[in-house]
A and B are shown apart, each in its own frame.
Chain A
Amino acid sequence: MSVGKGETHALFGPNGCGKTTLLSTIAGIPRYVVESGTITFKGVDITHLSMHERARLGIGIAFQHPPTIRGLKVLDMIKLCNPQADAEKILEDLDFTEFADREVNKGFSGGEVKRSEMVQLLAQEPDFVMLDEPDSGVDLENIKVIGRAINILTQKDAKPSLRTKSGVIITHFGHILDYMATDKAHVMIEGTIVCSGSPKEILEQIKANGYEGCAACLCPV
């Protein structure tokens, strides 16, 4: 799998196929060990870099189930992500100002957790952002806000040729894709990317025939 500069890709696949594992491995979470192959980012082999080194190189991730950080306020978290970030504007953009003094993720609803993740990523300004189901358990209003944030993160307001930021998004139902732009989609089955192509086309296929359809397409009887 290769994501080019300025591109945003969607990653589909049935539960347990390895989507989250792939993103976690790229992020460098220690319990995910690369047994073969390499991860290259901006021309650098990052396969064996530690998590924070990858983050400092420009890799960002929105977690599906992030932990609560007791005693750390959202505003302070923004400053930790990036001391130069315009926290006020970011919070405002994501309609999150009233959460500035709340402890990170403490007692947040599903949609609030997702917005909190987006706030942190907007501060971090990664060159490559990975989003693990930013639309799961989120109502329509929140999906719109999150979609807008993803478009900012992936510079969708800039001309395609001028974009430098890239991203990968995991989505189950593809709701979020109505509010954000993707250039390419992949289907993963049992840990392997089995199909790549137009996001719209692939999503329609999955909606019509399920992942069984993908499997059938791969191994026609």
Chain B
Amino acid sequence: MSMSRLEEKAKKAADKKAALGTDIDIESYEAEAEEFGEIEALEMLPADVQTAALSAGVSLTGEAAGDYFQVDQSPVHRGSAVEGVEVMDIASALKEHSYLADYFWRLVPIDADKYTADVGMHPPAGYFIRARPGTKTIFPLKTCLFMGGKNKRQRVHNVVIAEEGSELHIITGCTTPSHAGRGLHLGVSEVYVKKGAHVTFTMVHNWGEEVEVRPRGASLVEAGGSISENYITLTPVKSLQAFPSATLAGEGAVATFSTIMYARRGKIDIGNQTILEAPKTSAESISRVVSTGGEIINRGRMVGKVPDVRAHVECTGLILTEKGRIYSIPELDGWCGGLDMSHEAAVGKISQQELEYLMARGLSPDEATSVIVRGFLDVEIKGLPPALKEEIQKITKLEEIHGGS
């Protein structure tokens, strides 16, 4: 689609409310952002920025296949450490690669809602990552979207292309410094997984309590390819609504979603959907959510369009305090015979028997609760390189995760 046609569509959708989540007054957040210059190396970032990145799972040390760091609307650092993997800021990439126009706004409609429209109506900022055919990365690509200013509106548009037979592991930490006030983060991510390629896409949200977040993500997986998407939010946000989707378009494609959520307060409406359009495709969506006062709507949706597909949804939640809400919505939508889709959902409390078992070993009720909650959130995420697995484990083991206290 031409840029002018896109712009036109975006303008029409400027006031279009999103189907899900509380409505946000976008204009109450400043559109203009201060510009930040590029830095030579990530180590030159201020200490508080590094700390914020670390708490969103992005350690700036250690081995990485590449990195991308954005402060508000400015890409301040990017680079690739692997031959065959390109990491650019999206604005430069659009200028340099004319083919990118075919990928830009193809999976996420620019007029999906006012948030996508707002991203579309402003100059693009975000990352472009492409793995050339057959390129396999072992270490994760570390990316960080940092919102530094108060009352800002951060707009991000990322495009990832894993060409045939390639392998990419991306971790994106979305974060603010601990002192940041209100803010709005809008993030569009489009991920293309070509034939036989494998992508893990992990997003860690670590925002402030006054931040509103509306990510819009979609991926397309071709034959024999796989995507593993992981969404982790362990610190409070004011509101978060996301419902990324994966389309399995080629035979044997696989999608796995894992969601780990811990809400002390705020309103979270999170989930994902997979559309199984080709035979022998399979999908799994696993979510573990904990509320200690926050409201979580937890969705998992599978749409089976053809026979010979398999899908499973697991939505489990713990409410640890008197107040708090978890609304689990597993949805199965089968469009023909010969498919196999299932779900399990549970919302409840910590098992008394498990608590007593740990207390019999000398743990106080609070310690026992904390051990059980961490275990509950410790989802085995398949297909991750060990380095990334370790980083995710570190996040779920943060001291901030408590039990009912």
Which residues of A are in contact with B by a Cβ distance under 8 Å?
27, 29-30, 50-52, 55-56, 60-61, 63, 66-67, 69-72, 77, 80-81, 103, 120, 124
Contacts and interface: CB of A to CB of B under 8 A. Distances in A.
Contacts of A71: 374-378
B228 to A, nearest CB: 19
B344 to A, nearest CB: 14
Contact of A30 (B356, B375, B377): B356
A55 B376 contact: no
B360 A67 contact: no
Given A67-B351, A69-B354, A80 B375 contact: no
B361 A72 contact: no
Contacts, number: 61
8 contacts: A29-B356, A52-B359, A55-B360, A63-B360, A69-B357, A71-B376, A80-B363, A80-B371
A52 B365 contact: yes
Contact of B362 (A70, A72, A124): A124
Nearest to A61: B360
A78 B42 CA distance: 40
A51 B372 contact: no
Chain A interface helix/strand/loop/mixed: mixed
B361 A120 contact: yes
Given A27-B360, A81-B362, 20 more contacts: A29-B356, A29-B360, A51-B360, A52-B359, A52-B363, A52-B365, A52-B368, A55-B359, A61-B360, A67-B353, A67-B357, A69-B357, A69-B372, A70-B378, A71-B374, A71-B378, A77-B361, A80-B358, A80-B361, A80-B363
A124 B356 contact: no
Interface in B294-313: none
A52 B376 contact: no
A55 B355 CA distance: 13
Interface string B278-289: 000000000000
B92 interface: no
A2 B353 CA distance: 28
B364 interface: yes
Contacts of A67: 351, 353-354, 357
Nearest to A27: B360
Contacts of A66: 357
Nearest to A78: B361
A69 B375 contact: yes
A51 B364 CA distance: 8
Contacts of B351: 67
B363 A70 contact: no
A75 to B, nearest CB: 13
A55 B357 contact: no
B392 to A, nearest CB: 13
A120 B363 CA distance: 13
A101 to B, nearest CB: 12
